[in-house]
């Protein structure tokens, strides 16, 4: 049947609204789309707008996608513009427009993607279909739209759509998003991922990007992406296909130096039990923690087999060193420690005078680098020195401590406290030295091994390595006083004096412990009432030895820090609950930290001055911090 005769019949079927004709109307929608006439678009649009059946309406929109002509595009545009159109019909209309290859349909999709009043999900669909229509106009539109939208979902859809278009310009735009530190990290990761799916990826460019990134997550994302390129053509070497030098991520990574690398594994098991008890005016507890630790350290080791020079009588010597085959060096150690503790409190005068006592044992494990048996030697200089930076067998530093205190709460918001404390530290770590160690290394004075008149001599090593054995003791007294008046004025004062003694691994006294100031005290004047509070604080540290007389570059001359005072002040005003403004000042007296060699003010000294060291001298030598001031506001939720 021709269109002129069929269309009127189909129109009459689509005009019906009874439920019995639903199936007929669904079939009629399809048939109308196949009968191309001047009325086709109008008939389908009428069904979309007025038919009670959802499937008829959806099919009407879908078949509009198969009907060419400006009338159809205009009909679809009217569907999108009508605020009463439900989302599923809008979805079908967006798809139908995407199937019309005309400039008018593209303009409608771009306008819809920009509409802030349109459902976000529908805008994403419009952006997606724009990405399937590869044109410079659509690409530029999506890039411009990216800077206007605020939704991360819309931004991700734009990134995806541009990645589907391909092309060097779009790839560069995606990489710019990935490198923009102001963008959300998840958006940057998506941009990097989709940039990598294109065929225009420059692997050499990605390798360079890694060093320019500071964000750990972005670096991990880039490494994961680069790993996915393994086996693909590497443009750094390939100008034509097939590529004989495919990309290999492993070739771009830093190559480990086995002698400067180590692997340390610690497995720790612990168990704790506690017993509590209490009476009318007293309470306490007893406990013990059992700790078992196994350490396994691995590194590479290669000991020199021989060292030789052409002529030992030359004034300037040049040494050659031959090494044995590199082998893995493993060390394992296990220790178990039982750490008891006890606490007691007793009200001598209920609610006014309280006595406290505490005793316990604690441990401090060595740092991982102190457990790794890496080594360096000076054989190339002809010097038999072998230095190990770590030892897997190091045990933890142990400390027994006892504290006794008396606390007098003589009135509300006031207390006077006195305390005695003592601590004994054992198994402290020091640098052990072993001399004349025969490791099988030999020395030749007149040429390489096998040269005539060149008998071998033993090359005996001096070996240094961390070891346990040093000890120290600390005893002291601490006094503190706090008192507040009803008008908000108050003070807090604290004084501490410490006596310390150090002992070497043989038990010989070495004097006061380095970096343990004998005297410290602080005085604070405080005002706190209503919305305003302020304080002025003075902290004082007495002179003390920072490095012992055998620890500096001049034997017999210790490094001594001069006494140091630090003054701070602050004021806070609470304008509203949770909101306050404040001003703070630090080092108001412009104090300078000074450390002198042997106490001589003409010889400032810092640890960075030691030969072979690069430690920071901040806080020692001559360190001027300057005054600092802060004016700010804060809000607490």
Average pLDDT of the segment spanning 32-60: 68
Extended strands (E) in 236-352: 263-278, 282-301, 304-308, 320-323, 327-349
Residue 93's domain spans which residues?
3-249
pLDDT of residue 38: 61
The band of 373, judged by pLDDT with boundaries at 50, 70 and 90, is: confident
| Cα–Cα distance measured from residue 147 to residue 535, given in angstroms and rounded to the nearest whole number | 48
Task: Give the number of domains in the chain.
Answer: 1
> Is residue 369 a contact partner of residue 392, using CB atoms and an 8 Å limit?
no
The band of 610, judged by pLDDT with boundaries at 50, 70 and 90, is: very low
| Cα–Cα distance measured from residue 123 to residue 94, given in angstroms and rounded to the nearest whole number | 9
pLDDT of residue 613: 43
Range with the largest mean pLDDT of 192-201, 207-216, 400-409 = 400-409
3-state secondary structure of 625: coil
The band of 518, judged by pLDDT with boundaries at 50, 70 and 90, is: very high
With respect to residue 460, please indicate whether it lies within any of the assigned structural domains: no
| Cα–Cα distance measured from residue 440 to residue 25, given in angstroms and rounded to the nearest whole number | 99
Q: What is the CATH number of the domain that holds 36?
A: 1.25.10.10
With respect to residue 397, please indicate whether it lies within any of the assigned structural domains: no
Average pLDDT of the segment spanning 497-526: 90
With respect to residue 296, please indicate whether it lies within any of the assigned structural domains: no
In this structure, the number of other CB atoms found within 10 A of the CB of residue 361 comes to: 16
Q: Mean pLDDT lowest for which of 192-206, 367-381, 481-495, 515-529?
A: 192-206
Query: What DSSP character marks residue 191?
Result: H
> Is residue 410 a contact partner of residue 416, using CB atoms and an 8 Å limit?
yes
With respect to residue 168, please indicate whether it lies within any of the assigned structural domains: yes
Sign, CA dihedral 225-228-229-230, equals: positive
pLDDT in tens, 550-608: 777 788 888 899 999 999 999 999 998 889 999 999 999 999 988 888 888 888 877 65
With respect to residue 530, please indicate whether it lies within any of the assigned structural domains: no
| Cα–Cα distance measured from residue 511 to residue 503, given in angstroms and rounded to the nearest whole number | 8
pLDDT of residue 41: 66
With respect to residue 222, please indicate whether it lies within any of the assigned structural domains: yes
Tokens of 14: 């689509």
Helix, strand, coil shares of the chain as percentages rounded to 5?
A: 30, 40, 35
Tokens of 148: 């206007």
Tokens of 485: 């008046």
């Amino acid at each position: 049947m021709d269109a002129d005769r069929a269309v009127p019949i189909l129109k009459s079927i689509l005009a019906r609204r009874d439920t019995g004709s639903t199936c007929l109307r669904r079939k009629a929608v399809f048939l109308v789309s196949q009968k191309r006439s001047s009325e086709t678009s109008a008939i389908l649009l009428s069904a979309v707008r007025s038919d009670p059946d959802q499937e008829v309406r959806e099919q009407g929109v879908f078949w509009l996608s198969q009907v060419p002509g400006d009338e159809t595009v205009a009909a679809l545009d009217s569907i999108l513009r009508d605020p009463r159109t439900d989302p599923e019909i809008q979805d079908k209309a967006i798809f139908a427009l995407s199937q019309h290859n005309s400039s008018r349909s593209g303009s409608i999709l771009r306008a819809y993607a920009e509409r802030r009043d349109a459902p976000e999900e529908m805008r994403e669909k419009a952006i997606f279909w724009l990405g399937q229509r590869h044109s410079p106009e659509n690409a530029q539109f999506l890039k411009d739209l990216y800077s206007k939208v605020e939704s991360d979902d819309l931004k991700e859809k734009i990134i995806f759509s541009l990645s589907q278009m391909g092309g060097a310009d779009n790839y560069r735009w995606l990489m710019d998003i990935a490198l923009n530190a102001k963008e959300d990290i998840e958006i940057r990761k998506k941009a990097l991922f989709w940039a990598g799916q294109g065929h225009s990826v420059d692997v050499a460019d990605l390798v360079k990007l890694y060093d320019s990134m500071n964000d750990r997550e972005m670096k991990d994302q880039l490494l994961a992406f680069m790993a996915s390129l393994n086996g693909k053509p590497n443009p750094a070497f390939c100008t034509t296909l097939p590529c004989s030098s495919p990309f290999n991520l492993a070739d771009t990574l830093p190559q480990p130096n086995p002698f400067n690398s180590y692997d340390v594994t610690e497995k720790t098991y612990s168990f704790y039990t506690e017993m509590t008890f209490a009476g009318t005016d007293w309470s306490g507890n007893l406990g013990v923690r059992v700790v078992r630790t196994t350490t396994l350290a691995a590194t590479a080791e290669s000991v020199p087999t021989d060292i030789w020079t052409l002529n030992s009588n030359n004034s300037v010597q040049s040494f050659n060193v031959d090494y044995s085959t590199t082998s893995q060096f493993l060390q394992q150690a296990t220790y178990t420690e039982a750490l008891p503790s006890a606490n007691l409190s007793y009200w001598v005068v209920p609610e006014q005078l309280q006595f406290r006592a505490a005793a316990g044992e604690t441990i401090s494990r060595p740092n991982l680098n102190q457990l790794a048996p890496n080594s360096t030697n000076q054989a190339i200089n002809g010097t038999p020195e072998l230095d190990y930076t770590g030892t897997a067998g190091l045990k933890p530093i142990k400390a027994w401590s006892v504290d006794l205190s008396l606390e007098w709460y003589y009135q509300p918001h006031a207390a006077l406290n006195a305390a005695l404390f003592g601590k004994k530290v054992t198994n402290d770590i020091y640098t052990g030295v072993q001399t004349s160690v025969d490791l099988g290394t030999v020395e030749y004075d007149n040429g390489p091994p096998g040269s005539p008149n060149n008998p071998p001599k033993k090359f005996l090593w001096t070996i240094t390595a961390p070891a346990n054995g040093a000890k120290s003791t600390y005893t002291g007294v601490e006094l503190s006083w706090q008192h507040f008046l009803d008008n908000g004025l108050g003070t807090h004062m604290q004084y501490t004096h410490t006596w310390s003694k150090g002992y070497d691994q043989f038990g010989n006294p070495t004097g006061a412990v380095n970096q343990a100031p004998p005297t410290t005290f602080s005085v604070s004047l405080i005002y706190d009432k209503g919305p305003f509070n302020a304080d002025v604080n003075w902290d004082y540290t007495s002179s003390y030895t920072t490095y012992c007389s055998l620890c500096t570059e001049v034997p017999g001359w210790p490094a001594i820090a001069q006494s140091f005072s630090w003054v701070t002040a602050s004021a806070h005003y609470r304008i509203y609950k949770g909101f306050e403004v404040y001003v703070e000042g630090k080092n108001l007296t412009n104090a300078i930290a000074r450390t002198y060699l042997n106490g001589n003010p003409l010889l400032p000294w810092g640890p960075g001055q030691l030969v072979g060291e690069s430690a920071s001298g901040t806080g020692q030598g001559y360190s001027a911090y300057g005054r600092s001031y802060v004016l700010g506001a804060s809000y607490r939720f």
